[in-house]
Protein backbone atom coordinates (compact mmCIF):
# COMPACT_ATOMS: atom_id res chain seq x y z
CA UNK A 1 0.00 0.00 0.00
CA UNK A 2 1.59 3.26 -1.11
CA UNK A 3 0.88 6.45 0.74
CA UNK A 4 0.37 9.64 -1.24
CA UNK A 5 2.58 11.49 1.23
CA UNK A 6 6.23 10.57 1.67
CA UNK A 7 6.62 8.48 4.81
CA UNK A 8 7.99 10.06 7.98
CA UNK A 9 10.43 7.17 8.28
CA UNK A 10 11.41 4.94 5.40
CA UNK A 11 13.96 2.14 5.25
CA UNK A 12 14.70 0.34 2.00
CA UNK A 13 17.00 -2.66 1.85
CA UNK A 14 18.79 -1.58 4.99
CA UNK A 15 21.62 -3.76 6.21
CA UNK A 16 23.81 -3.06 9.21
CA UNK A 17 26.96 -5.06 9.81
CA UNK A 18 28.97 -4.01 12.85
CA UNK A 19 32.76 -3.83 12.57
CA UNK A 20 33.01 -7.08 14.57
CA UNK A 21 31.13 -8.83 11.77
CA UNK A 22 27.77 -9.13 13.54
CA UNK A 23 24.93 -8.67 11.07
CA UNK A 24 22.49 -6.64 13.17
CA UNK A 25 20.04 -5.87 10.39
CA UNK A 26 19.58 -7.69 7.13
CA UNK A 27 17.73 -6.11 4.21
CA UNK A 28 15.10 -4.32 6.28
CA UNK A 29 12.22 -2.55 4.52
CA UNK A 30 9.91 -0.41 6.64
CA UNK A 31 7.65 2.59 6.13
CA UNK A 32 6.24 4.59 9.02
CA UNK A 33 3.70 7.31 8.24
CA UNK A 34 3.41 10.65 9.96
CA UNK A 35 1.45 10.24 13.20
CA UNK A 36 1.96 6.48 13.38
CA UNK A 37 2.51 4.62 16.63
CA UNK A 38 4.71 1.61 16.06
CA UNK A 39 6.05 -1.10 18.38
CA UNK A 40 9.25 -2.88 17.46
CA UNK A 41 9.23 -6.27 19.15
CA UNK A 42 11.50 -9.26 19.12
CA UNK A 43 13.98 -11.09 21.31
CA UNK A 44 17.09 -9.41 22.64
CA UNK A 45 19.73 -8.94 20.00
CA UNK A 46 17.34 -9.08 17.07
CA UNK A 47 18.16 -5.56 15.96
CA UNK A 48 15.47 -3.36 17.57
CA UNK A 49 17.97 -0.99 19.14
CA UNK A 50 20.17 -1.11 16.06
CA UNK A 51 17.25 -0.03 13.93
CA UNK A 52 16.54 2.94 16.21
CA UNK A 53 20.24 3.82 16.31
CA UNK A 54 20.26 4.00 12.53
CA UNK A 55 17.35 6.43 12.59
CA UNK A 56 19.08 8.92 14.85
CA UNK A 57 22.36 8.24 13.15
CA UNK A 58 24.18 6.80 16.12
CA UNK A 59 25.06 3.96 13.79
CA UNK A 60 25.49 4.07 10.04
CA UNK A 61 23.94 1.53 7.73
CA UNK A 62 26.18 -0.71 5.69
CA UNK A 63 23.74 -0.73 2.79
CA UNK A 64 20.28 0.55 1.95
CA UNK A 65 18.43 3.83 2.00
CA UNK A 66 17.09 5.53 5.13
CA UNK A 67 14.89 8.63 5.01
CA UNK A 68 13.75 10.36 8.21
CA UNK A 69 11.50 13.38 7.80
CA UNK A 70 12.84 13.96 4.32
CA UNK A 71 16.51 13.62 5.33
CA UNK A 72 18.63 10.94 3.69
CA UNK A 73 20.13 9.69 6.94
CA UNK A 74 22.33 7.05 5.33
CA UNK A 75 24.09 9.72 3.30
CA UNK A 76 24.09 12.37 6.02
CA UNK A 77 27.46 13.93 6.67
CA UNK A 78 28.58 14.17 10.27
CA UNK A 79 28.23 17.94 10.25
CA UNK A 80 24.53 17.63 9.47
CA UNK A 81 23.78 15.11 12.22
CA UNK A 82 22.82 17.80 14.80
CA UNK A 83 20.17 19.10 12.41
CA UNK A 84 18.69 15.59 12.11
CA UNK A 85 18.72 15.06 15.86
CA UNK A 86 16.63 18.18 16.38
CA UNK A 87 13.84 16.49 14.44
CA UNK A 88 13.97 13.51 16.78
CA UNK A 89 13.43 12.88 20.46
CA UNK A 90 15.08 9.80 21.91
CA UNK A 91 14.19 8.06 25.17
CA UNK A 92 16.13 5.22 26.77
CA UNK A 93 15.60 2.51 29.33
CA UNK A 94 18.14 4.13 31.68
CA UNK A 95 16.71 7.68 31.30
CA UNK A 96 20.15 9.25 30.81
CA UNK A 97 19.37 12.22 33.03
CA UNK A 98 22.14 14.40 34.46
CA UNK A 99 22.13 13.71 38.18
CA UNK A 100 23.63 17.07 39.17
CA UNK A 101 20.93 19.05 37.39
CA UNK A 102 17.32 19.51 38.44
CA UNK A 103 14.43 18.28 36.32
CA UNK A 104 13.99 21.81 34.98
CA UNK A 105 17.68 22.12 34.16
CA UNK A 106 17.77 18.69 32.53
CA UNK A 107 14.94 19.62 30.21
CA UNK A 108 16.20 23.15 29.57
CA UNK A 109 19.70 21.76 28.88
CA UNK A 110 18.45 20.08 25.71
CA UNK A 111 17.28 23.45 24.41
CA UNK A 112 20.15 25.52 25.72
CA UNK A 113 22.82 23.41 24.04
CA UNK A 114 21.14 23.91 20.69
CA UNK A 115 21.54 27.64 21.14
CA UNK A 116 17.87 28.36 21.86
CA UNK A 117 16.85 31.79 23.05
CA UNK A 118 16.27 32.08 26.79
CA UNK A 119 12.82 33.45 26.04
CA UNK A 120 11.93 30.24 24.17
CA UNK A 121 13.44 28.08 26.91
CA UNK A 122 11.35 29.84 29.54
CA UNK A 123 8.21 29.25 27.50
CA UNK A 124 8.85 25.73 26.26
CA UNK A 125 10.19 23.99 29.37
CA UNK A 126 7.09 24.60 31.55
CA UNK A 127 4.93 23.47 28.65
CA UNK A 128 6.58 20.04 28.30
CA UNK A 129 6.87 19.60 32.08
CA UNK A 130 3.15 20.20 32.27
CA UNK A 131 2.56 17.71 29.45
CA UNK A 132 4.41 14.95 31.31
CA UNK A 133 2.92 16.01 34.65
CA UNK A 134 6.13 17.03 36.40
CA UNK A 135 5.56 20.76 36.87
CA UNK A 136 5.42 20.38 40.63
CA UNK A 137 8.75 18.53 40.77
CA UNK A 138 10.74 20.71 38.41
CA UNK A 139 13.17 21.79 41.13
CA UNK A 140 13.96 18.24 42.24
CA UNK A 141 17.00 16.23 41.25
CA UNK A 142 16.68 12.90 39.39
CA UNK A 143 17.80 11.04 42.52
CA UNK A 144 14.76 12.33 44.35
CA UNK A 145 12.30 10.98 41.78
CA UNK A 146 10.74 7.58 41.18
CA UNK A 147 11.70 5.64 38.07
CA UNK A 148 8.49 6.63 36.34
CA UNK A 149 9.03 10.29 37.14
CA UNK A 150 12.59 10.11 35.86
CA UNK A 151 11.37 8.60 32.62
CA UNK A 152 8.76 11.35 32.35
CA UNK A 153 11.52 13.91 32.79
CA UNK A 154 13.51 12.16 30.06
CA UNK A 155 10.45 12.24 27.78
CA UNK A 156 9.98 15.93 28.52
CA UNK A 157 13.60 16.48 27.52
CA UNK A 158 13.08 14.50 24.32
CA UNK A 159 10.03 16.61 23.45
CA UNK A 160 11.32 20.04 24.40
CA UNK A 161 12.68 20.80 20.94
CA UNK A 162 9.31 19.92 19.36
CA UNK A 163 10.47 16.86 17.43
CA UNK A 164 8.20 15.27 14.86
CA UNK A 165 9.35 11.82 15.88
CA UNK A 166 9.83 10.22 19.30
CA UNK A 167 12.06 7.14 19.42
CA UNK A 168 11.89 5.03 22.58
CA UNK A 169 14.31 2.21 23.31
CA UNK A 170 12.78 0.01 26.04
CA UNK A 171 11.19 3.01 27.77
CA UNK A 172 9.54 0.86 30.43
CA UNK A 173 12.39 -1.62 30.86
CA UNK A 174 13.28 -0.30 34.30
CA UNK A 175 9.76 0.42 35.53
CA UNK A 176 7.21 -1.40 37.64
CA UNK A 177 3.75 -2.13 36.16
CA UNK A 178 2.11 1.01 37.58
CA UNK A 179 4.79 3.29 36.18
CA UNK A 180 4.74 1.35 32.94
CA UNK A 181 1.05 2.06 32.53
CA UNK A 182 1.65 5.71 33.26
CA UNK A 183 4.45 6.05 30.70
CA UNK A 184 2.46 4.14 28.09
CA UNK A 185 -0.48 6.49 28.55
CA UNK A 186 1.87 9.44 28.22
CA UNK A 187 3.33 8.11 24.97
CA UNK A 188 -0.17 7.64 23.63
CA UNK A 189 -1.05 11.21 24.56
CA UNK A 190 2.04 12.47 22.78
CA UNK A 191 1.12 10.43 19.72
CA UNK A 192 -2.39 11.91 19.72
CA UNK A 193 -0.84 15.36 19.48
CA UNK A 194 0.59 14.29 16.12
CA UNK A 195 4.07 13.07 17.03
CA UNK A 196 5.19 9.89 15.31
CA UNK A 197 6.18 7.40 18.03
CA UNK A 198 8.39 4.33 17.60
CA UNK A 199 8.83 2.10 20.66
CA UNK A 200 11.21 -0.83 20.88
CA UNK A 201 9.96 -3.02 23.71
CA UNK A 202 9.96 -6.35 25.43
CA UNK A 203 6.88 -5.57 27.42
CA UNK A 204 4.03 -7.83 26.39
CA UNK A 205 1.43 -6.05 28.55
CA UNK A 206 2.12 -2.69 26.97
CA UNK A 207 1.87 -4.01 23.43
CA UNK A 208 -1.23 -6.05 24.08
CA UNK A 209 -3.06 -3.24 25.84
CA UNK A 210 -2.31 -0.64 23.17
CA UNK A 211 -3.18 -2.74 20.11
CA UNK A 212 -1.16 -0.61 17.73
CA UNK A 213 1.04 -1.46 14.78
CA UNK A 214 3.58 -4.14 15.70
CA UNK A 215 6.74 -4.73 13.67
CA UNK A 216 8.45 -7.98 14.56
CA UNK A 217 12.18 -8.46 14.20
CA UNK A 218 13.99 -11.75 14.26
CA UNK A 219 17.69 -12.16 13.57
CA UNK A 220 17.90 -8.74 11.98
CA UNK A 221 14.97 -9.28 9.64
CA UNK A 222 11.39 -8.06 9.78
CA UNK A 223 9.30 -11.21 10.03
CA UNK A 224 5.88 -9.66 10.55
CA UNK A 225 4.13 -6.30 10.42
CA UNK A 226 0.64 -6.19 11.96
CA UNK A 227 -1.72 -3.24 11.83
CA UNK A 228 -3.28 -3.86 15.25
CA UNK A 229 -0.99 -6.43 16.71
CA UNK A 230 -0.27 -8.32 19.88
CA UNK A 231 3.09 -9.09 21.40
CA UNK A 232 2.85 -12.67 20.19
CA UNK A 233 2.37 -13.36 16.52
CA UNK A 234 -0.86 -14.62 15.04
CA UNK A 235 -3.38 -12.96 17.29
CA UNK A 236 -4.01 -9.92 15.08
CA UNK A 237 -4.37 -9.26 11.37
CA UNK A 238 -1.03 -10.39 10.09
CA UNK A 239 0.79 -9.31 7.04
CA UNK A 240 3.76 -11.64 6.85
CA UNK A 241 6.47 -10.21 4.72
CA UNK A 242 8.57 -12.17 2.36
CA UNK A 243 12.30 -11.72 3.10
The residues of the shown chain that bind another protein, judged by CB under 8 A, are: 56, 78-79, 81-86, 90, 96, 98, 109-110, 112-115, 117-119, 121-122, 157-158, 161
Considering the complex, what minimum distance in angstroms separates the CB of residue 171 from another protein? 15
Alpha-carbon gap, residue 37 to 26, rounded angstroms: 23
- Closer residue to another protein, CB minimum distance, 46 or 161: 161
Considering the complex, what minimum distance in angstroms separates the CB of residue 239 from another protein? 33
What is the enclosing helix (H) or strand (E) of 1?
none
Considering the complex, what minimum distance in angstroms separates the CB of residue 39 from another protein? 22
- Among 222, 95, 88, 85, smallest CA distance to 149 is for 95
What is the enclosing helix (H) or strand (E) of 60?
none
- Closer residue to another protein, CB minimum distance, 82 or 234: 82
Considering the complex, what minimum distance in angstroms separates the CB of residue 83 from another protein? 5
- Closer residue to another protein, CB minimum distance, 83 or 240: 83
* Bridge partners of residue 15, in order along the sequence: 63
- Closer residue to another protein, CB minimum distance, 26 or 74: 74
Instruction: Give the sign of the dihedral formed by CA 30, CA 16, CA 229, CA 166.
Output: negative
Give the residue ranges of DSSP H helices in the chain.
48-55, 81-85, 103-112, 118-132, 147-159, 177-192, 204-210
Amino acid sequence: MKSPLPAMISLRGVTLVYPNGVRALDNVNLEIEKGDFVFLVGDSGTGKSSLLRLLYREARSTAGEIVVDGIRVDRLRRKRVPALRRHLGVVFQDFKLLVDKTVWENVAFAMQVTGAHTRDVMRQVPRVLDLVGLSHKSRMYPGELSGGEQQRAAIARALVNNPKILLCDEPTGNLDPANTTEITALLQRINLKGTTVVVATHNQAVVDRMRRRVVRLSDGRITADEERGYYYLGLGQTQVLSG
